[in-house]
Structure 1
Amino acid sequence: MHNERLFPYGHARDADWRTALSAALEMAGPRVRGGTLGFLYVSDRFESDLPEILSAVREQTGVPHWTGCVGIGICATAQEYLDEPALAFMVTDFPETEFHLFAGMEPYQPGKDLTTLPSRPPYFAIVHGDSQTPDLPDLVRDFAGKVSSGFLTGGISSSRANGAQLVDKVVHGGLSGVTFSEEIAIVTRLTQGCSPIGPVHQIAEGKNNVIARLDDRPALDVFYEEVGDILSRDLQRAAGFIFVALPVKNDDRGDYTVRNLIGIDVDRKLLAIGEYVEAGQTLMFCKRDGSTARADLERMLTEISHLADGRRIRGGLYFSCLGRGESLFGPDSAELRVIQEGLGDFPLVGFFANGEISHDKIYGYTGVLTLFLDAPIF
């Protein structure tokens, strides 16, 4: 009975997508034909083949509805496929009245709400985004306000081509994905890949993405003081190791969004970061560190296990940053194996994203885990 409640899933690597799909279907087994909604993640090596892949997987499974996207890396249970031709899918059996697919949303368009379910308003959504879409953070925040939980999870497609998304067909641009009613039992948590190295500072002077003063001191002086003498003399190395963390307002978990350092002006002691800022905002400096990232992933797994409260995990989705995986956790699919070790052996698919979506924000260097449970949450 236990295995029958798990969602069928499969994943495989091969230079020929037909061979990879055949192996993944064999792994999924015959129960795959009873599904209603599938999640499909495909290596960007297969992006040009995506219409054929979607047609084949629909024909061979009989599953009518599919969502997903392409990624430079693909995730599965205890397995990473990074920068190689691969695909992964998972098939759910939710009643078709309890979910709704959507695509092509744009913010601030009254009368064009594509998220309304026939019987009740949407509760939660899993979304895929296009990094080329203008004002994508505004679009994410706008859409989160249209689901009653206020919560989205997902990721921005990563690709050396066009970053295609799937919603029963291949689409580009904006957000796409699936909304769920509150009848579908879902829990989610986020894990950071960076950790703060100093106190919270207030931006005393800043314009656009340039910071002039922190705590009424020159921004570069504060930066040098916190990162130390060695890194401050090798700013190219520092840019790959030290980041800026912007605390999330009114968040009781101490959450923050991480942005890159993109430039300095030594003479005027200015810092430029990958985000617009203004005076009065707060920030921290943080470091990207494998040991602290692993500890935070294990913390997140403990939290989400408590949220599940003994209910069986039927399947899950994991959206991890391209800057994580092997480069942060080490080889042999270490990041995905930590999840398996923490929560057990359950169906998991996803991809390495160009930005991760949780709640109403786009993050960087994070991992977002979403689990489907065996019983509704009351």
Structure 2
Amino acid sequence: MSQEADPNSIRFATAITREIDPIDAGHELVAQILDAGLPSVSLLTLFFTANHVAAIDEIRAHLLEDLRPGVLLGMSASGVIFGREEIEDDPAVVVQAASLPGCRVQPFQFGQIDWDDDEDDDHLVLADELGVEVDGDERLVIALADPFSTPLVKTLPALKRLVGDASVVGGLSSGARQPRRNRLLLNDRILNEGAAGVLLSGAIDTKHTVTQGCRAVGRPYVITKSKRHIVQELGGQNALAAIKGMVGDLEPSDQQLVEGHGLLIGRVVNEYKDRFGPGDFVIRGLVGVDQDEGYVAVGDPQVTVGQTVQFHVRDQQAARGDFDLLLEAQRVHGPAAGALLFTCNGRGTNLYDEPNIDATLAMNALGDPPMIGAVCAGEIGPIGGRALVHGHTAVLSAFRGPDCG
């Protein structure tokens, strides 16, 4: 799939192969990209399923030799996305070539970082680690990471501070369930831990949509007692007692969702707002309950006393409607030149009764651009001006020319 455009504008093309043989797979991908007639390839992004891990070095070599991209970035995943198709169970490699005149593409990688004692200097420490230059014209960071080895809790805030107003998007590899089995690609390097990515600066515009696939229930609570990630009291009441009371007051249909999928907890990003709706919460899971004490463990190390939270349920109708509503902001800006979509491995047919929902909604909103994506074990996307790792989420990044408005 390719997009016709002025030679001086940004252009994208995509390719897919289901071939397992690395020679056949490489040739098929190269042929599709060359047929698109891009003047150059500034960035080549690829996602591949576990079936292709053993052969990815040879496939990558074909792409580097024949397409000569400025930067190659890739990641293994449990599933991949090509246009409107979400390939959840079958082997596939998907590739997106981007010609980005006037845009600087800086590659980077990182693992465990030796931070200074002064947290105010974290972004400077990270800049040295990444080896990138920032000049105030940063537009986007695409970060791909291994979930077993990457210290994102401290790294993402430092990265966001480093790049200022630029957004950070990406995903955690879902290609394997054991450490050192995932694969990240960065030019001629193949990594099995840490993170790899690119920093885009200059003549490109990016717009992002983050949908968390769930719906708020009950009322907001203020955390009145907690210890680390253990919530002990909500609104002055024992946490578990408050939750049980809230669930007991729900409609029977919502109670069934709680019984079937459990509860999620949403932490408000901006406490200064009077009302909270979709996009105002960072959604996390409940990871444990102390029945004797009535305490609840939250999968969020940043919960603390004084924060506002509200519980959520997973609901396929709400997930679909929320994504479609949030995509209105993309429609305002017109068709995209290209796009990347990072979705949770709990979405797709694990959430919806039919396949390809998220990909189809995205393509409809963006005017069918050359789009690829990955099914992830955690999605990186912006909420409230912060760079955060999400779960149950779809993160869409749409690329347009710098004059799109």
Identify whether the pair has TM-score above 0.5, normalized to the shorter chain: yes
Deviation at 1:67, TM superposition (A): 0.8
| Residue 168 of structure 2 corresponds to residue 152 of structure 1 | yes
What per-residue deviation string (whole Å, max 9, x for no partner) do you get for residues 323-367 of structure 1? Answer: 111111333322211222233221101101111111311111111
| Residue 232 of structure 2 corresponds to residue 212 of structure 1 | yes
Q: Distance in 2 between matches of 1:77 and 1:332?
A: 13
- 1:28 aligns with 33
**Alpha-carbon contact 1:314-1:372 (below 8 Å) kept:** yes
Q: Distance in 2 between matches of 1:372 and 1:233?
A: 40
| Residue 243 of structure 2 corresponds to residue 243 of structure 1 | no
What per-residue deviation string (whole Å, max 9, x for no partner) do you get for residues 225-282 of structure 1? Answer: 22338899999x7473321111113586752121112222223222222123332222
Q: Distance in 2 between matches of 1:231 and 1:265?
A: 27
SS of 2:144 mapped into structure 1: strand
Q: Report the TM-score, using the length of structure 1 for normalisation.
A: 0.88
**Alpha-carbon contact 1:50-1:170 (below 8 Å) kept:** no
Q: Which runs of 5+ in 1 are unaligned?
A: none
| Residue 293 of structure 2 corresponds to residue 268 of structure 1 | yes
SS of 1:98 mapped into structure 2: strand
What per-residue deviation string (whole Å, max 9, x for no partner) do you get for residues 125-164 of structure 1? Answer: 1111221235312101111111131421111111215222
SS of 2:293 mapped into structure 1: coil
1:268–1:139 distance in 2 versus 1, CA, 3 Å: same
Tell me how many residue pairs correspond in the alignment: 373
- 1:367 aligns with 394
| Residue 85 of structure 2 corresponds to residue 59 of structure 1 | no
| Residue 29 of structure 2 corresponds to residue 13 of structure 1 | no
- 2:8 aligns with none
- 1:328 aligns with 351
Instruction: Report percent identity of matched pairs.
Output: 24
Q: Distance in 1 between matches of 2:267 and 2:102?
A: 40
Matches within 5 A, 1:65-214: 65-95=71-101, 98-104=104-110, 106=113, 108=122, 109=125, 112-114=128-130, 116-117=132-133, 122-133=138-149, 135-160=151-176, 162-168=181-187, 169-214=189-234
1:296–1:17 distance in 2 versus 1, CA, 3 Å: farther
- 1:281 aligns with 307
- 1:295 aligns with 321
Deviation at 1:111, TM superposition (A): 6.6
| Residue 284 of structure 2 corresponds to residue 259 of structure 1 | yes
1:251–1:32 distance in 2 versus 1, CA, 3 Å: farther
What per-residue deviation string (whole Å, max 9, x for no partner) do you get for residues 149-198 of structure 1? Answer: 14211111112152222221212433321111132222212112111112
What per-residue deviation string (whole Å, max 9, x for no partner) do you get for residues 84-125 of structure 1? Answer: 311101101124861111111635326715353487653321
AA of the residue aligned to 1:68: G
**Alpha-carbon contact 2:30-2:62 (below 8 Å) kept:** no
Q: Distance in 2 between matches of 1:345 and 1:231?
A: 36
- 2:241 aligns with 221
Q: Distance in 2 between matches of 1:204 and 1:319?
A: 35
AA of the residue aligned to 2:195: L
Q: Which runs of 5+ in 2 are unaligned?
A: 6-10, 116-121
Q: Distance in 2 between matches of 1:374 and 1:167?
A: 25
TM-align CA RMSD: 2.8
